Amino acid sequence: MKNWTIQLDEITGQFKADFGKLSLAELNWKPNPQTWSIAQNMEHLIVI
């Protein structure tokens, strides 16, 4: 369990570093209607 939480903390830190500075508009931007935005992907992963 401890190893799992360490990995989760590392992944969370990397995610924040990669996406934490984006604005809401950038997080919700979709290149086309058939693709998900970053925010939609995040929500999907949280729900799963």
Domain positions in the chain: 22-48
State the pLDDT confidence band at 1, using cuts at 50, 70 and 90.
Answer: confident
Summarize the confidence of residues 18-31 as an average pLDDT: 96
Q: Is the pTM of this model over 0.85?
A: no
| DSSP for 4-34, written as a single string | HHHHHHHHHHHHHHHHTT--HHHHH--SSTT
State the pLDDT confidence band at 20, using cuts at 50, 70 and 90.
Answer: very high
Q: Average pLDDT, whole number, for the chain? A: 94
